[in-house]
Structure formats: C-alpha cells, structure tokens
Chain A
Amino acid sequence: MQELKTKSKKVVSRETGVPSAKARLEALSAKGREGEEGGPEPDKLLTFPHLVLKEFIALMLMSLLLIIVSIVLNAPLEEEANPSKTPNPSKAPWYFCGLQEMLVYFDPWIAGVVAPTLIIIGLCVIPYVDRNPRGIGGWSGIKHRPFAVTIFSIGVFAWFALIIFGYMFRGPAWLVYMPWESWDVHKPILSPGGLVVPLYVGVTAIAVYFGLGMGLPVIFVRRFYQTLGPARYFVTMFFVLCMFGFLAKIPLRLLFSIKYIIKTTWFSI
C-alpha cells in the first residue's frame, strides 16, 4: 500500500502506464503543477488540462440544460398545414419578428430585403472602418472606443427591442396586444393610410438628412473625419445614417402618422 502511494505521487514511471485513481485526479488538479510550467512564457498555461477542463464542464452544463429543457418543454406542433386557413396573425420565427415589425413602418422591399442586406454588409465592414487600435482583448477597453460601442449597442438594442415587441406585443391584424391581454378582445383596425409627404419635401428632407449627417461631422468633429479618411468616413456614416434613418421612421409614423416620406410610382420609402 505504502509503495503504491509513493508511486502515484511520482505519477507514472513508464510511458504508457495507467496511473492510480489518485494520480488520475491529480492530472486534472492544479496540485503539484506549480513548477512545471512558466518557462519562457510565464503568462501561458497548458491547454490540457486548463482549457480542456473548463470546456468539458461547460459542455456538461449545456448538455444538462438541454436535457432538462427537452424533458420539461415540448416543441410546438399545431394542426396540419392548411393553405386555405390563414392564422391571424401569422408570425415569422422569433429572430425575424423584428423585420416583420418593421413592416408596420416600411414597405416589404425595405423591411424584408434592403434592411437585412444593409445589416449584413454593415456588420461585415465594421473591422475595416474601425481604425481605433484600442480596446482589443478585454471588456474594459469599451471606454476607449465610445463611438463604435454606442453605435453597435444601439443597433443590437433596436434589433432585440423590435423582436420582443413584434413577438410578444402583437396580436390579430398585427395590432398591439399586451402579453396578458386576450386576443379575443376586439380592437379597431388602424387605418392603413397616413400622411404622404409631398415628393419634393420628402426628397429634400432625405437629402438634407444625409447631407447634414455626412457634412456636419466633417466640420465640427474634424478629428473623427481625419482619422478615418474620406473613404472609411463615407462608408461608416452611410451605415450609421441608414440605421438612424430606419429607426427615425418609427416615431414619424407613430407620432405624426407619416406613411411615406417619398412616394413614387415605382417605390415608396
């Protein structure tokens, strides 16, 4: 017995030997590992066991969560698909409910096609327009890049706010129903109409919005423009202004019941 103990402390003598249970535990513990690492790279640790152990624990916890959820909650299955019976409302999957909610404020070609395309391209250009070298590799770096963090956070917040509103606060005919309200309650259908801004006013308004949006920072936040350079500045401001433009339509519609800012025969915004 005594002999076994000393052997397990030395861990394994032979290359392929399987050690005792105690040594196997030690292989995963921090004990007795102090001296062995910290050679030329003292801020690094071996992947096995340090990282692998954490990954394994995370994997176990997630499996447990999934198994419990899958036992407790059943995936929805409604009656068989029936093309002649349209449910009211017909909702998209939750992650697209934000886009569906945008349909209240925009025609489908913007809410369903242009907006998602701009979001995807906008996300892809982030690393190429953000020239701020600070804030890599830690959460505390957030304070060194207020502009990037603010814009991104507004986007993420708006995305989830629209999803939550569209998914939880919309009932029949896409009218506002509180989550605790019964959908059987009849509500007057809002008029689909609304103000249509005269074409020249609308075009001028959008031109002014983009013009001032692009121009003012060049004059008043000169350093921002200079660090980015003209190309990066233009791309950044285009996406930023598009995002705020999208979001600005929400109060315009709700407060001033403006349906279209630009209305032409071919398309309306």
Chain B
Amino acid sequence: MEEKLKRAKDKVVHTQVWRSLFRQGWPTTERNRVLTTINTLLLHLHPIKVKTHALKIRYTFCLGGATLFMFVIETITGLLLMYYYRPTLEYAYQDMKDLEFTVTFGLFLRNMHRWAAHLMVLTVILHMCRVFYTGSYKPPREFNWVIGVQLLVITLLLSFTGYLLPWDQLAYWAVTVGTNMAKSTPIIGAEGPFAVLPANTDICFYLRGSEDISGNTLLRFYVLHCIFLPLSASALMGVHFWRIRKDGGISWPL
C-alpha cells in the first residue's frame, strides 16, 4: 500500500503541472531553502539570510510586520464590506444595519475591520517608537524613516476617512470636529488667521465638498478611503520595504 502511494506521489510531483507550480523541491536542504526564498513572491521581499540578532522577537516585536498584516486584513475585510455598502445619504446607514442584522457574518466582518483599524494605528505608532529607540533611522536609513512618517500619516487619514462611512452620530460628529480644524488653517481657511477665502471656497469646503458634512463628504471620504489612500499606502509600502533591503537590511549594532 505504502509503495503504491509513493509511486502515485512520484507520478504527481513529476508532472509538468506540478513542476511548473513548484520550481524547487521540499525545503529540507539548504539549496532548496535558498530557492524557496528566492522563488516565492512574498518571501523574496526578504534577503536569503538574516542576521541572527534580527531574528530576536525582543528586537522588533514584529511591529512592522504586524502593521502590514493589519493592512492586509483591512484590505480583505474592506473589499468584502464594499459589496454591501453604498456611500449615499439614503443607503449608508441602512446598509450598516443590514450588515449588522441581515448579512451572514456581516457583523463579524465589520467588527474585524474596525478593530484591525484601531490596532493598525497603534502598531504603526509603536513601530515608529521601536525604530526610534533602536536608532534604526540613522544613516543610511534616513529617508526610509521619512517614508515611514508619511505612512503613519496615511494610516491616520485612512482611519479618519473610514470613521465617517457608518454615517451614525458617532461618525458624523467626530468627522465634524476633525474637519472643523481645517477651517482654521491660516490664509486658506475661512476662519483662520489672515483668511482670504470665504466659507464656500476654503480648504474645509474643499475637504467636505460642501459647507457642512453632507452626501458629498460621504462620497469624497469613501473614494479616499477605498481607492486613493490604500493605493498611496501600497506604493509607499513598496518603497519602504524595498529600501530596507537597499539600505542593507534590518539595522544591527555596529
């Protein structure tokens, strides 16, 4: 029996289909392990070998990876939520209620999207602290720190734009408070110092698409939240990871 199974297995792994999927054998030899890292799309972001010191959990606490993982979770759950959500005054709140009571696993989906978002804000801040305290922003990694700061800002904006979408009291007034600040921008805000623009053309109006939070704001925040900001974040993340490699990998004591 075992002999038969083995022969069947050998037949499978020697087919053209199998060999086109898996270019190297099971990673039990050093050669195959190297090839696994090189040949796998996700793993090839890593170098083939890493410093032993970089492997210690207490060095990085996996915070950057945790942030990326949260981003992936947000993308998946967010994409699924998009099937049920319409960003209009008429439907937005009703669709939230549907997600809560009608859609199978809708509540779970929304919960996960919400908590992962909060966690992502937290992990990205903690990741920044880790990088600071371990001196990992020092040359040659200066610019990667700057990209990291931009990613932090985008994360906050992603979370903030998503905050409006449920269109409940919490969302509406939190975003009112948040965007009101823009009114006070010097020069380009209607109520700020040296204001030159009236309330119907200032930066806050531009942000909201109207003088108060309205259906225009909802649509604007929806597009920012689902398309513009995730794409910007992905692009910057690409640069962020690429530069880690180009700057010599994860930092280590000199």
Interface residues of A (CB under 8 A from B): 4, 11-12, 14-19, 23-24, 26-27, 36-37, 41, 43-52, 54-55, 58-59, 62, 66-67, 69-71, 73-83, 85-87, 90-96, 99-100, 107-109, 111-114, 120, 123-124, 126-128, 130, 132-139, 141-142, 145, 149, 152, 156, 266-267
Residues of A within 8 A of B114 (CB): 75
Given A85-B169, A267-B193, decide whether A73 and B115 contact each other with a Cβ distance below 8 A. Answer: yes
Please, how many residues of chain B have a CB less than 8 angstroms from a CB on the other chain? 107
A76 contacts across to B, CB distance below 8 A = 168, 170
User: What CA separation (Å) do A225 and B121 show in the bound complex?
Assistant: 36
Would you mind naming 9 contact pairs between A and B with Cβ atoms under 8 Å apart?
Answer: A17-B25, A46-B33, A48-B36, A59-B69, A77-B97, A93-B160, A113-B185, A124-B145, A137-B251
Q: By the criterion CB–CB under 8 Å, are A62 and B26 in contact?
A: no
Residue contact B173 to A90, C-beta cutoff 8 Å: yes
Evaluate contact between B173 and A87: CB separation under 8 angstroms.
yes
The residue on B at minimum CB distance from A85 is: B169
Q: B85 near A: Cβ within 8 Å?
A: no
Is A78's CB under 8 angstroms from B134's CB? no
State the Cβ distance, A52 to closest chain B Cβ, in Å.
6
Main SS class of interface, B: helix
Q: Are A137 and B65 in contact (CB under 8 A)?
A: no
Q: Are A66 and B51 in contact (CB under 8 A)?
A: no
Taking CB atoms and an 8 Å cut-off, the chain B residues in 90-113 that contact chain A are 93, 96-97, 100, 107-108, 110-113
Instruction: State how many angstroms separate the Cβ of A104 from the closest Cβ of chain B.
Output: 14
Q: Does B88 contact A (CB under 8 A)?
A: no
In whole angstroms, how far apart are the Cα atoms of A94 and B120 in the complex? Answer: 13
Name which residue of chain B comes closest to A109, CB basis. Answer: B184
Which residues from B are CB-within-8-Å of A114? 186
Q: Let me know if B41 is at the binding interface, CB within 8 A.
A: no
Instruction: Choose from B54, B142, B213 the contact partner of A128 (Cβ within 8 Å).
Output: B142
Instruction: Select B2's contact among A4, A27, A75, beta carbons within 8 Å.
Output: A4
Q: How far is the CB of A55 from chain B (nearest CB, A)?
A: 6
Q: Are the C-beta atoms of A69 and B26 separated by less than 8 Å?
A: no
Q: Which residues of A contact B80 (CB under 8 A)?
A: none
Partner of A127, one of B10, B141, B172: B141
Inter-subunit contact A156/B129 (CB<8 Å): yes
Known: A49-B33, A58-B65. A136 touches B174 (CB 8 A): no
Of B18, B138, B181, the residue contacting A136 (CB under 8 A) is B138
Kindly state the separation between the CA atoms of A142 and B13 in the bound complex, as whole angstroms. 53
Are B62 and A55 within 8 A (Cβ)? yes
Known: A16-B14, A73-B115, A108-B181. A43 touches B48 (CB 8 A): no
Q: Are A12 and B26 in contact (CB under 8 A)?
A: yes
* Beyond A111-B181, A136-B251, 15 extra complex contacts between A and B, CB < 8 Å: A11-B29, A17-B26, A46-B34, A52-B37, A69-B111, A70-B108, A70-B111, A79-B168, A87-B173, A114-B186, A120-B153, A123-B149, A136-B135, A145-B135, A267-B194
CA distance A114 to B145 in the complex (A): 22
Q: In the bound complex, do residue A138 and residue B66 qualify as a contact, i.e. CB atoms below 8 Å apart?
A: no
B172 & A266 in contact (Cβ 8 Å cutoff) = no
**What chain A residues lie within 8 Å of B222 (beta carbons)?**
none
Query: A19-B28, A112-B182 are contacts. A81–B174 as well, Cβ < 8 Å?
Result: no
Contact A109 B108 (CB under 8 A): no
Nearest chain B residue, comparing its CB with the CB of A268: B193
A contact residues around B173 at 8 Å (CB): 86-87, 90-91
B253 contacts A138, CB within 8 Å?
yes
**Chain A residue with Cβ nearest B147:** A124
